Amino acid sequence: MRRSIALVVVLVLCVALLAGCNTGKEETTSTTDSKAATKTLVMGTNATFPPYEYVDDNGTIIGIDAEIAKAVCDKLGYELQIKDMEFDSLIPAVQAGSIDFAMAGMTVTDERKESVDFTDSYATGVQVVIVKEDSAIKTVDDLKDKKIGVQSGTTGDIYCTDDYGQENVNQYANGALAVAALVNGQVDCVVIDNEPAKAYVAANTGLKILETEYVTEDYAAAISKDNNALLTEFNGALKELIADGTVKTIVDKYIKADA
Ligand code: GLN
């Protein structure tokens, strides 16, 4: 009698265990399924680049790139997740697959095209020079032998290093740090894209942007060379958003025509 009770208990336990296992399995499967259904795309950016990407008072990353990316994801049925990182980590992250795409006011260059694919361009940027209001630097021709601050790994960094030599270029992790170095007198000027330059000049007293522009360039999103499907999807959505005026509306919201 005792034995049979023990047997029943063991049997019940086994059934319970098996049921438990099953439930576990189903849960795992359903979690995977629902993840696949939501399809999240991870965008990498460097959120110190207003008005393309910056952190608002609530700690949320906003800006032109964030909104265009959201519109693209909405159109394609993806959730958007934004990951903040150093600018010069973005291309390696795209290559490693730790982000699905990078959108960071990123200039299309032949050198970068060797590492990643670029979507169609959605905006134009211009490299400009920020100086102190009373600076002896009057035009881009006066940059020779001056200390130039740049954001590490950006086109501004690449052009200045080529044109004026590495010994004259101080690299900073982002635009905010480069501009702080100018304010503190550690560098004589900062070479950076025009829209962030305007935002930084507005946020700091005693700075101005030189009239002469350095280089004009195209911005696009970077996608892994192994993800041609996403490149095609992204370009399809972007084309529609450009055609129906959504991209322009987003740009105009952040960049006032007279600014
Ligand atoms: N447009 C520049 C580049 O691509 C700077 C971009 C940035 O600093 N976010 O190098």
Residue 55 lies in a domain: yes
Residue minimizing CA distance to atom 8 of ligand 1: 154
Distance 11 CA to ligand 1 centre (A): 66
Distance 138 CA to ligand 1 centre (A): 24
Q: Ligand 1, residue 104: give the atom nearest the CA.
A: 9
How high is the pLDDT of residue 79?
97
- Nearest ligand 1 atom to the CA of 175 is 8
Range of the domain at 235: 39-122+220-254
137 with 246, same domain: the answer is no
- Tell me: do 115 and 180 sit in the same domain: no
Q: Ligand 1 centre and the CA of 21: distance in Å?
A: 51
Q: How far is the CA of 49 from the centre of ligand 1 (A)?
A: 8
Residues 90 and 136 in one domain: no
Ligand 1 geometric centre to CA of 154 (Å): 5
Confirm whether 61 is domain-assigned. Answer: yes
192 and 228 co-located in one domain = no
Report which ligand 1 atom has the smallest distance to the Cα of 46. 9
The pLDDT value recorded for residue 5 is 52
Q: How far apart are CA 196 and CA 125, in angstroms?
A: 10
Is 191 a domain residue?
yes
223: left (phi over 0), alpha (psi -120 to 50) or beta: beta
112: CATH? 3.40.190.10
- In this structure, the residues whose C-beta lies within 6 A of any atom of ligand 1 are 46, 49, 87, 104-107, 125, 151, 154-155, 193
**One domain, residues 58 and 93:** yes
Number of domains the chain is built from: 2
The whole-angstrom separation of Cα 119 and Cα 238 is: 9
Which residue in 159, 152, 155, 149 sits closest to 89, CA to CA?
152
Q: How far is the CA of 217 from the centre of ligand 1 (A)?
A: 10
Query: Within this chain, do residues 208 and 231 fall inside the same structural domain, yes or no?
Result: no
Per-residue tens of pLDDT for the chain, all 259 residues: 455 555 454 444 444 444 444 443 333 344 444 445 679 999 999 999 999 999 999 999 999 999 999 999 999 999 999 999 999 999 999 999 999 999 999 999 999 999 999 999 999 999 999 999 999 999 989 999 999 999 999 999 999 999 999 999 999 999 999 999 999 999 999 999 999 999 999 999 999 999 988 889 999 999 999 999 999 999 999 999 999 999 999 999 999 865 4
Regarding whether 212 and 200 lie in a shared domain, the answer is yes
Instruction: Identify whether residues 92 and 150 lie together within a single domain.
Output: no
Specify if 2 maps to a domain: no
- Exposure of 227 by Cβ count < 10 A (0-12 exposed, 13-18 middle, 19+ buried)? middle
Q: Are residues 137 and 193 in the same domain?
A: yes
In 176-210, which positions are buried (b, 16+ CB within 10 angstroms) versus exposed (e)? bbbbbbbbeeebbbbbbbbbbbbbbbeeeeebebb
Distance, in Å, from the CA atom of 72 to the CA atom of 41, rounded to the nearest integer, reads 10
Residues 73 and 134 placed together within one structural domain of the fold: no
Residues 188 and 236 in one domain: no
For residues 226 and 204, membership in a common domain is answered with no
According to the model, what pLDDT value does residue 213 have?
81
- Of 90, 106, 195, the residue with max ligand 1 atoms within 8 A of its CB, to mutate for a pocket test, comes to 106
